[in-house]
Amino acid sequence: MKSDTTEKGDRIAKIMARAGLCSRRDAEKWIAGGRVAINGKILTTPAVVVREGDDVRVDGEPLPTADRARLWRFHKPKGLVTTHKDEKGRTTVFDVLPPDIPRVISIGRLDLTSEGLLLLTNDGSLAREMEHPSRGWVRRYRVRVHGRVNPEMFTRLKKGVTVDGVRYGPIEAKTEEKTAAGEEKGAAKSNIWLTVSLTEGKNREIRKVMEYLGLTVNRLIRVAYGPFQLGKLDAGVLEEVPRQIVMQQLGKSAPEGLNRKRNRHGEDAKPRK
């Protein structure tokens, strides 16, 4: 992956995104609209490197100091889309976050009807590092399916399968020993809970692969993304992951933004509804 960081500075769009103003894509639009200036000169292109000491202004106001890189766990309920702008006008994950949280992006996605652990960060470098395939982090789900389940049917998934021309990598799936608490009453006998683990996480991967096996997914909950767990976090609750834990899990590949001392939004936040 090509970096937009030079030995002497960073590109303006990256600087703006890091400051929490907007995404890099939106930063380019703001620049095209004449809203951004460096050292008194209105920019006409995002191909500009910001160096230490440069005076960057957006709409005439000084660029905010970049916050340190931060990570949150969010228990996404069903019915929210994981996007900043939904063309259908549906409620997004970002619409329901507390107002004092800086602009964040998601690490991976969960579709409209999926729920569970969604990691959020205010730093693009941290997001890219945690999503990168080379890290090989396992994403684990609890999945309720409707249909006839034979444990042997999951054997074929261990080497990966091709569905409608799309190749999916190895998937581990097994039935749970007991039906989830609270689901016994009124649940059809053909509703079975599975534990599913994978590393790729392609669009609607689990639903498509289960359909390939003749099963229909009627509930999907992500319970882990690599070392980060959903645990007992209630639906709709946001909780910040302490910086030392993030650094411990990422090791030497941790983005430099985690080491910034300045934090405009306070230290490790408590769970918020």
> Residue 21: pLDDT above 90?
no
Whether the predicted pLDDT of 265 surpasses 90: no
* Helix pair 243-250, 124-131: axis angle to 10 deg: 40
pLDDT at 227: 96
- Can you list the domains of the chain with their CATH numbers? 9-62 (3.10.290.10), 71-229 (3.30.2350.10)
Categorise residue 214: left if φ over 0, alpha if ψ from -120 to 50, beta otherwise: left
Residue of 103, 143, 141, 137 whose CA lies nearest to 123: 103
As to burial, measured by CB atoms within 10 angstroms (0-12 exposed, 13-18 middle, 19+ buried), residue 78 is: middle
In this prediction the pTM is 0.77
**% helix / strand / coil in the chain, to the nearest 5?**
25, 30, 50
CA 169 to each of CA 147, 152, 214: distance values in angstroms, whole numbers, following the listed order: 23, 18, 19
pLDDT for the residue 200: 85
What is the pairing mode between strands 9-11 and 49-51?
antiparallel
> Is 16:48 a contact under the CB 8 Å cutoff?
no
pLDDT tens-digit series, residues 74-125: 999 999 999 888 889 999 999 999 988 888 999 989 999 999 999 999 888 8
pLDDT digits (tens, 9 = 90+) for 133-145: 888 899 999 999 9
What average pLDDT does range 235-242 have in this prediction?
96
Q: Give the residue numbers annotated as catalytic, written as ranges.
A: 111
Going by the DSSP 8-state scheme, the letter that residue 224 receives in this structure is E
Q: What is the pLDDT of residues 60-87, one digit of tens each?
A: 999 877 678 899 999 999 999 998 888 8
